[in-house]
Amino acid sequence: MIVHIITRLAMGGAQVIVYEIAKRRHKFNKDIIIFTGLSDKVRSLSAQDNKILEKIKKDKIPVEIIPSLNDKISLISDIKSFINIYLLLKKYKPSIVHIHSTKTGILGRLACKLLNLRKVIFHVHGWVFSRSIGFSSNIFFWLEKFFYFLTTNYIFVCKQDMIDFINRGGHFQINIKSHIIYPGINCFEQDKLIRFRNELRNKLGFTDSDHVVGTIGRMDYQKNPQIFVEIASNYYHIDSDAKFLWIGEGVYRNDIKRQIENYGLSKKFKLPGYIHEIDPYFFVFDTFVITSRYEGLPITALKALACGIHVVGFNVNGMNDLSDKFSSVYGVKPFKVQEFVSQLANAKNMMKKGVRITNKDAEYVKKYFNLDLMYENIMKVYDSI
């Protein structure tokens, strides 16, 4: 029996990874179960949905719901969550415990220690200390230094997070028990999807001459949509063909609409909200952007690359890996607006000149960032312990 523990199963990169692993193991009749909390406007700070949980239930993958478990810090709720995790682990007696996200990383590893469960994997989708500041950042870092000794193996979604831990003063030997396994994506059948480009652009109100710049993601603190609107305002002054698109919902939606109006960009922006069948919409973009304050390794950037689209993003966490690896990814120092604007201009200039490079990057993503390879590599980690 393998147990995955994650704070919640809202729409997000870590949650998709859990789903894809569980789906494949369940398909092959391997024992697996997921422990998770719930996500909604009351319980959650962001990603207030249970979209991945709904998929897991639909596929009849075993799951245990812990109602008290969520992404907010609450002494009473967290104690209840710890007790529930402890009791569930005691009930199922798993051979491997695979833990995702910081809160469950702490609660789960502590419960494993008390139950003498010794095969514990912590999957790092970005450190919480790297997205915090001051005292709270130091607390989370020292907790991770302590829980290093309660962790059998680490899986990192990007190399940069392992480097950041060591550079901060963490255990330099972490590399000995670590594996860098990049997230996988469903690779598109380009011939089928590309024909939808004009249809979807027309549906959204874009013309062939528009240069569409934007992203797909939640409108929340992590994704940082406010700075994207500021970037758009600056970029439009040097590219009159530019139009801007943000696909997704979130707690900042009304704030973003007001910000767009204040910049006088209402006719240049489209905010279609959440779109369920999203993959064809990647072909709508001419340049894809990542303006996040922090990321593990953004799956949306990989999907854009697989479509042959240039990506411009702040070099946070896994974006460092991508900008080092791919010529069609333009890294920007966080959070420099004018540098971002300049890189948007560079990306547009390279659209036609760099077709060969773009195609090469797209083929590399399809070969080395696919879901089957990700799953195989994670199974190798299981086998090794």
Report how far residue 261's alpha carbon sits from residue 60's, in angstroms, rounded to the nearest whole number: 45
Check: CB of residue 251 under 8 Å from CB of residue 220: yes
- Across the range 230-247, mean pLDDT stands at 96
Phi and psi at residue 300, to the nearest 5°: -65, -35
User: Exposure string (b/e) for 196-206, b if CB count within 10 Å is 16 or more?
Assistant: ebeebbeebeb
pLDDT of amino acid 44: 67
What Rg value do the Cα atoms of the chain yield, rounded?
21
- pLDDT band for 111, please (50, 70, 90 cuts): very high
Check: CB of residue 312 under 8 Å from CB of residue 336: no
pLDDT per residue as tens digits for the range 44-102: 667 778 999 999 999 999 999 999 998 888 899 999 999 999 999 999 999 999 999 89
- H or E element: which one contains 346? helix 337-353
- pLDDT band for 351, please (50, 70, 90 cuts): confident
- pLDDT band for 11, please (50, 70, 90 cuts): confident
Q: What tokens were used for 82? A: 């710890």
- pLDDT band for 43, please (50, 70, 90 cuts): confident
- Across the range 372-384, mean pLDDT stands at 96
Report how far residue 375's alpha carbon sits from residue 362's, in angstroms, rounded to the nearest whole number: 20
pLDDT of amino acid 176: 96
- Across the range 121-125, mean pLDDT stands at 97
- Across the range 163-188, mean pLDDT stands at 93
Instruction: Tell me which residue has tokens 């909200």.
Output: 273
Domains of the chain, CATH where assigned: 2-184+370-384 (3.40.50.2000), 190-368 (3.40.50.2000)
Residue 250 has pLDDT above 70, yes or no: yes
Report how far residue 364's alpha carbon sits from residue 182's, in angstroms, rounded to the nearest whole number: 13
